[in-house]
Chain A
Amino acid sequence: KRFPPPAEGVRHQQQDTEAVLGGRSLGSGTLYVAESRLTWLENSGVGFSLDYPTISLHAVSRDLSAYPWEHLYVMVNAKFEGEETKEAPMAEGEEEEEDSDDDAEPIAEFRFVPSDKSALEAMFSAMCECQTLHPDPDDEDSDNDYEGEEYDVEAHELEQGDIPSFYTYEEGLSHLTAEGQATLERLEGMLAQSVSSQYNMAGVRTEDSIREFEDGMEVDIAPVVAGQFEDAEVDH
C-alpha cells in the first residue's frame, strides 16, 4: 500500500533499513518509529504499518549465528493480512506465518536490518517508548483507573511549576478540582471556629475523590513530618 510517511510524533527514523518478514526480504526502505504506529516504507513508497498493541515484543539481535545481520526483531501477534502489505508478494508471506500447530496463535516475525548497525539501540529505545504509550486496554485489573489531574511531580521537582499555596498535604490532594479546593478552604475555616471537638482531619471531606486519599489525612502515619499539618486548624 502506498501512503505518506507519518508526519507527527516520529521518535526515530532510520533510512536504508531492510525489512524482512518471516524469511522473506521486502526490500530496502525507511523505518519510522512514530508514537501512533510503526511504519516501514520501501524507497518506492509502498510499505506497511504495525499498531503497537499488536506488537508483543521487540529486541536487538546481534547474534550472527542466529541471523547473519544485526537487526531489530519485532514479533507481532497477528496474522499478516493482505491489505496491510504489498499485494502479490505477500500472498506467499502469509503462508509462512502459519506454524505447524493449528491451535497456536498466529505470529509474524519482522526483522529490520539497518545499514547503520549503531542505530539499533536508538531504534530499540524509541520502540520501547512508543509501546509504553499504548497500555493494554483489556487489562483485567480495573483499579488502574485513577481519576483527577495528574500531579506533575517532575515539573515540581524541577521547579517548573508553582507549588500552589493550598497544597498543604501530599500530592493526593491535587486531585481536587479548583472548586473542591475552594470548598475545602472554606470548610477548614469554619472548622477552626467550630466548638465541636469531634472533628478530626478525616472529617474534612468535600468530594468523593478525597476518599481515595484518606491515608494522607490520618495523623498517625509514621513517616509524616509533624509540622506538615500545623496549619490545618483542627482541634486535636
Chain B
Amino acid sequence: MEVSHSVKERTIAENSLVILLQGLHGHVTTVDMRDESTATGRVTNVDAFMNVRLAEVTFTDRQGTVSHLDEFFVTGRNVRYVHIPDEVDIRATIERQLQAIHRIRYFGGRDKGRKEFPRAKH
C-alpha cells in the first residue's frame, strides 16, 4: 500500500476518490484517456492529481492500433476513466488507504511521531 509523503497530497487523497485509485497498486487495470485511447497495465503509481503510472502496458491508440509499452505515464488531466478490476473490494480498499493515512498522521505522541518512517506497505 502506498501513501504519499506529502501532507497536501494526503489531504487531497483523503477527500476524493483518488484514494481508491491509489489502492490499486499492483493491480492490472485499464485506463481510458480523454482522446479515447486506452492503456491496460499494472498500476505502479497514482498520485493525488490522478497522474497514473503503469507498467507492462498494452496501448490501443484512438485509431485502434495496438502496441506494447514497458512503462507508461498519463497526466490526470487526460484520464477519463480508470477501470476498477473485479477482484478489488472498493470499500475495503478505501478504508485501508484511509487507515494508512491516519496511521501516519496520528502516529505516536508528541516527540515520537514521525521519527519512524511510516510502514507504507502491508
Contacts and interface: CB of A to CB of B under 8 A. Distances in A.
B8 A63 contact: no
Interface in B95-113: 102-106, 108-111, 113
B5 A153 contact: yes
Interface size class of B (residues with CB under 8 A): 35 or more
Interface string A33-62: 000000000000000000001011111111
Given A143-B15, A146-B11, A225-B109, A57 B75 contact: yes
B122 to A, nearest CB: 16
A171 B69 contact: no
A167 B110 contact: yes
Contacts of B53: 128
Interface string B15-40: 11000000000000000011100010
Contacts of A159: 115
A104 B35 contact: yes
Nearest to B45: A128
B117 to A, nearest CB: 6
Interface stretch (A81-89, A130-138, A194-202): A130-138
Nearest to A225: B109
A57 B106 contact: no
B81 interface: no
B74 A63 contact: no
Nearest to A221: B106
Given A146-B11, A225-B108, A61 B114 contact: no
Contact of A63 (B67, B77, B103): B67
A144 B69 CA distance: 32
Nearest to A156: B114
A56 B106 contact: no
A138 B77 contact: yes
B57 interface: yes
A57 B6 CA distance: 23
A25 interface: no
Contact of B78 (A61, A77, A99, A151): A77
Interface of A: 53, 55-63, 66-67, 73, 77, 99, 104-105, 107, 120-121, 124, 127-128, 131-132, 135-136, 138-139, 141, 143-144, 146, 150-151, 153-154, 156-157, 159, 163, 167-168, 170-171, 216, 221, 223-225, 227-228
Minimum-distance CB pairs A-B, first 4:
A66-B67, A56-B78, A57-B74, A63-B68
